[in-house]
Amino acid sequence: MRHIDLLSIPRKDQGYVLVLPGIEGASYFNASVVRGLVDAGIPYAIERYDWTCGFFLFLYNLCSSKLHHQQAEVIADKISQYQSEYPNRPVYLIGHSGGGAMAVLTTSKLARHQSVTGLVLLANAMSHDYQLDDVLARVDQKVWNVTSVGDLFFIGLMTTLLGTFDRKWTFCAGLSGFTRTQNEKLVEMPYRAEYVSARNFAGHFGCTAHHFVRKHLAPLLAAPDS
């Protein structure tokens, strides 16, 4: 990808997208998400924020509630600072796996008068029975939850053994959807065969493929009423 200042003032003046990595931290997979957004021509400022303690502490990144809440506050402050400088611009959070769960937790910590435009959750690692009510109250448009029944190993088996982001020993909402939430703001996006042509072959990382992001996810940000 050619060099572009993704946090330039002209981009910030259009809107803001925070991309949150999974428990592996900054990696090819979340860089691919950024690349897909850029290739799609998303005009907003795009920041990949690594909330983790690095790859070698991936279990700590998954299991530490202290880390989760500390970093959720940091991310919420970043959103508040942006909104104070650029009011009434769209703000989106895109998170993969643990980053999707972090997007949910961060949004729940926003002040009552605050909101973000939308969340895009990719194979998110929050438990399937997590209640989204507080989150949806702070989202202006939609929460798009991208799921895949092919992701049985990481957010099915492993989270049943090691625990989900919100410390339950069960499968995640990135596998099955949010089973206890019904709200028009929540849009479940289960895996479809057509995603193969966008190089999303299901599993845990297919939803980060930059062709998939460009074709199927970027339009969600460009068309607010989707």
pTM for the model stands at 0.96
Residue 192 phi, psi (nearest 5):
-125, 150
Which two tokens mark 9? 């003032």
User: Helix, strand or coil for residue 20?
Assistant: strand
Q: Which residues of 91-130 are buried (b: 16+ CB within 10 A; e: fewer)?
A: bbbbbbbbbbbbbbbbbbbbeeeebbbbbbbbbbbbbbbb
Q: Is there a domain that residue 42 lies in?
A: yes
**Number of compact structural domains in the chain:** 1
In the prediction, which pLDDT does 2 show?
59
Q: Is there a domain that residue 2 lies in?
A: no
Termini Cα distance of the chain: 28
Query: By the 8 A CB rule, do 36 and 211 touch?
Result: yes
Nearest to 144 by CA among 129, 122, 125, 128: 122
Which two tokens mark 215? 């074709």
d(C-alpha 226, C-alpha 222), whole Å: 9
Can you give the residue range of the structural domain that contains 154?
9-222
CATH number, domain with residue 185: 3.40.50.1820
Those residues whose C-beta lies under 8 Å from the C-beta of residue 226, and which sit 6 or more positions away, are 142, 219, 220
Q: Is there a domain that residue 47 lies in?
A: yes
Nearest to 159 by CA among 77, 218, 97, 105: 97
Q: How many Cβ atoms sit within 10 Å of the Cβ of residue 50?
A: 16
Q: Is there a domain that residue 16 lies in?
A: yes
Q: Is there a domain that residue 4 lies in?
A: no
- Give the pLDDT of the chain (226 residues) as one tens digit per residue: 557 899 999 999 999 999 999 999 999 999 999 999 999 999 999 999 999 999 999 999 999 999 999 999 999 999 999 999 999 999 999 999 999 999 999 999 999 899 999 999 999 999 999 999 999 999 999 999 999 999 999 999 999 999 999 999 999 999 999 999 899 999 999 999 999 999 999 999 999 999 999 999 999 997 554 4
Q: Is there a domain that residue 3 lies in?
A: no
